[in-house]
């Protein structure tokens, strides 16, 4: 019988293993993961589980027994070191060779490390794994000073959680606004105000030139204007890079991420790549991108597993993601590409609204703040490429569904 080997036991890899059985695959499945925990949810690591008073035990995707019952061989705490495509062999860190018929690479991404003096000091932290979250949680006691390098989603979610735990927080961001890479100006301002009201300090347009320490532990962050922000710990959240080396070394096509098609297939037909590690086509926008989100991991797991078991390719989905900060829920659908008009629509409460990005009379992207209805309907409109009346769209008194021309 066929053997599917999955490298990376994260959201994408874990989902692929479960889906194979759900889709009726009867061959052998081996799921290899470097972390010692079965697949778990990462989003809570910066949100609810970081704030929780109790320990931050990760929420598993499936109970541990699932893998045994489903006949999925879990090999945890083990790294896949080398891929040899000719012989269809993966060499593990244990020295063992695994032979595959289909290989699914789901190795995710890792945080970018700053290459500045003092990066290796104790208390300079990153957040990707449950282990990272535990270390960060220890640094978040009331009155402790946390410097956060990077005003993106992870930095801001951690800022909100850290404030909830009573820590003093300073966010240091190189750009002049928060969420510069991922959200529109109005949202940057909204979140800036929201965090400022909660007592978060900001250093915008500031570049970190190094960390200083005493006795091996961080005591401050140096900025390139000569100032030092004193702190007890620093979280660096400045983006992630794909773990695509194993694919690149094996000669698969990569370009900061493993290149795949709409079935998540790489340049080798026996090998798929899914989740944060993959650079994939996005048909709605006629471009390719690496999406770092749970919905993308799930969608690509469906694509790869569907192709392995011989199902027709699933209908492509509108990319979406979310972020939780304090009592604010941000939901984004689509991508703000080739936008020629930006419209605001008020939501059901003063703290709720949505920003619509239009190209002609089509919605390219919706960013909804505490406004799940606008998000859901907007996402649906993006998917079917609906033509929209902009006046109706921006009039919150008219139900959004009626804005279709
Ligand atoms: P991962 O979940 O990173 O899994 C990859 C796994 O592969 C890891 O366990 C890694 O150790 C392992 N691995 C790597 N190399 C090897 C190797 N050579 N051999 C064996 N194993 C290997 N997304 C959202 O949509 N909404 C959110 O609110 C959100 N919040 C987030 C908050 C945080 C703090 C983080 C870190 C991420 C968040 N994300 C969020 C992103 C989301 O978690 C990722 O998009 C998702 O986990 C990607 O799944 P993946 O399986 O591709 O990668």
Assigned CATH topology for domain 3-110+240-309: FAD/NAD(P)-binding domain (3.50.50)
Question: Given a cut of 90, is residue 262 above it in pLDDT?
Answer: yes
- For 198-249, write each residue's pLDDT tens digit: 999 999 999 999 999 999 999 999 999 999 999 999 999 999 999 999 999 9
Residue nearest to ligand 1 atom 29, measured at CA: 43
Q: What is the pLDDT of residue 81?
A: 98
- For 283-318, write each residue's pLDDT tens digit: 999 999 999 999 999 999 999 999 999 999 889 899
- Do 3-110+240-309 and 113-236 agree at the fold level? yes
Higher per-residue confidence, 13 vs 48: 13
| Average pLDDT over every residue of 336-358 | 92
Q: What is the pLDDT of residue 78?
A: 98
pLDDT band at 48 (very low <50, low <70, confident <90, very high): confident
| Terminal CA-CA length for the chain | 53
CA distance 7 to 271: 11
Residue nearest to ligand 1 atom 44, measured at CA: 293
SS3 of 276, please?
helix
Question: Given a cut of 80, is residue 157 above it in pLDDT?
Answer: yes
Q: Ligand 1 atom closest to Cα of 45?
A: 34
- For 349-399, write each residue's pLDDT tens digit: 778 999 999 999 999 999 999 999 999 999 999 999 999 999 999 999 999
Q: What is the pLDDT of residue 77?
A: 98
pTM of the model: 0.97
CA distance 234 to 230: 10
Instruction: Identify the CA nearest to 231 among candidates 159, 174, 169.
Output: 169
Q: Ligand 1 atom closest to Cα of 80?
A: 19
Q: What is the pLDDT of residue 41?
A: 97
**Phi, psi dihedral angles at 73 (to 5 degrees):** -80, 110
At the second CATH level, the architecture of 327-403 is 2-Layer Sandwich (3.30)
| Average pLDDT over every residue of 154-168 | 95
- For 61-102, write each residue's pLDDT tens digit: 999 999 999 999 999 999 999 999 999 999 999 999 999 999
Q: What is the pLDDT of residue 347?
A: 76
Q: Ligand 1 atom closest to Cα of 81?
A: 18
CA distance 281 to 321: 17
At the second CATH level, the architecture of 113-236 is 3-Layer(bba) Sandwich (3.50)
Ligand 1 pocket at CB < 6 A: 7-13, 32-35, 42-43, 45-46, 79-80, 106-108, 127-128, 154, 243, 246, 275-277, 292-295, 297, 321-323
pLDDT band at 54 (very low <50, low <70, confident <90, very high): low
Q: What is the pLDDT of residue 55?
A: 65
Domain ranges of the chain: 3-110+240-309, 113-236, 327-403
**Quick one: CA torsion of 125, 130, 134, 139, rounded to 10 degrees?**
30
Q: What is the pLDDT of residue 181?
A: 86
Task: Work out the number of other CB atoms within 10 angstroms of the CB of residue 34.
Answer: 19
């Amino acid at each position: 019988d066929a053997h599917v080997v999955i490298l990376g036991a994260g959201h994408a890899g874990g989902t692929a293993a479960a889906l194979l059985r759900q889709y009726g695959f009867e061959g052998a499945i081996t799921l290899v993961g470097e972390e010692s925990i079965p697949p778990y949810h990462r989003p809570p690591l910066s949100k609810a589980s970081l704030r929780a008073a109790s320990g931050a035990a990760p929420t598993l995707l499936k109970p541990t027994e699932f893998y045994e019952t489903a006949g999925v061989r879990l090999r945890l705490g083990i790294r896949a070191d080398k891929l040899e495509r000719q012989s269809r062999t993966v060499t593990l860190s244990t020295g063992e060779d695994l032979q595959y018929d289909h290989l699914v690479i789901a190795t995710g991404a890792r945080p970018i490390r700053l290459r500045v003096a003092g990066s290796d000091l104790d208390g300079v932290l990153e957040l990707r794994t449950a282990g990272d979250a535990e270390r960060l949680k220890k640094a978040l006691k009331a009155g402790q000073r946390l410097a956060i390098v990077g005003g993106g989603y992870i930095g801001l979610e951690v800022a909100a959680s850290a404030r909830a735990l009573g820590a003093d927080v300073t966010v240091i961001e190189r750009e002049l606004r928060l969420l510069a890479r991922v959200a529109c100006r109005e949202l940057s301002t909204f979140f800036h105000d929201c965090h400022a009201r909660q007592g978060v300090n900001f250093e915008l347009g500031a570049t970190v030139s190094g960390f200083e320490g005493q006795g091996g532990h961080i005591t401050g962050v140096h900025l390139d204007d000569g100032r030092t922000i004193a702190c007890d710990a620093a979280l660096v959240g400045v983006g992630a890079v794909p773990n695509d080396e194993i694919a690149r070394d094996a000669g698969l096509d990569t370009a900061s991420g493993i290149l795949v098609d709409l079935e998540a297939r790489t340049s080798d037909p026996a090998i798929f790549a899914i989740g944060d590690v993959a650079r994939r086509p996005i048909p709605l926008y006629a471009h390719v991108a690496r999406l770092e989100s749970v919905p993308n991991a799930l969608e690509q797991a469906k694509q790869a597993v569907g192709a392995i078991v011989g199902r027709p390719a699933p209908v492509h989905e509108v990319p979406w993601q979310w972020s939780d900060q304090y009592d604010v829920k941000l939901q984004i659908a689509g991508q703000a590409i080739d936008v020629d008009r930006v419209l605001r629509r008020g939501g059901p409460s003063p703290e709720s609204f949505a920003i619509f990005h239009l190209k002609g009379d089509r919605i390219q992207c919706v960013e909804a703040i505490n406004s799940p209805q606008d998000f859901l309907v907007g996402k649906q409109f993006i998917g079917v490429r609906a033509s929209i009346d902009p006046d109706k769209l921006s009039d919150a008194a008219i139900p959004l569904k009626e804005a279709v021309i």
